[in-house]
Amino acid sequence: MNYNVIFAPKASDDLENLLVYLIDEAGPETARNHVGKIVDYCLSFETLPERGAVRDDLRPGLRVVGYRGKASIAFVVEENIVSIPRVFPSRPRRPLRR
């Protein structure tokens, strides 16, 4: 079964804000590449969405998964839809390189 992946407006804003931040820190090419990989990872939920930690304590059905220590992705699986309400970037541990 394939699922439709939908980014909520706040998740899209999170990714846009990360892109703007990274452009200043690491340059446009690196920024687009990094954010693109996070988006691609989110889109991979269309085939196997039921992963990550279940966080019913925050919201029923909420799951959170990390992406390579670079971001935490919050999402909900309902029927054939994966909705992504937020994407939380991790703080850089070291200066980014251009």
Q: What is the pLDDT of residues 68-86, one digit of tens each?
A: 988 999 999 999 999 999 9
Percent of the chain whose predicted confidence (pLDDT) is above 90 = 82
CATH assignment at residue 40: 3.30.2310.20
Q: Count of CB atoms within 10 A of residue 98's CB?
A: 8
Strand partners, 73: 65, 87
> Quick check: is 97 in a domain?
no
> Quick check: is 44 in a domain?
yes
What pTM does this model have? 0.87
Which range of residues forms the domain containing residue 31?
4-89
Average pLDDT of the chain, as a whole number: 91
Q: Report the b/e string of 3-13 with b at 16+ CB within 10 A.
A: bebebbeebee
> Quick check: is 95 in a domain?
no
Strand partners, 84: 7
Structural domain count of the chain: 1
DSSP secondary structure letters along 8-50: -HHHHHHHHHHHHHHHHHH-HHHHHHHHHHHHHHHHGGGT---
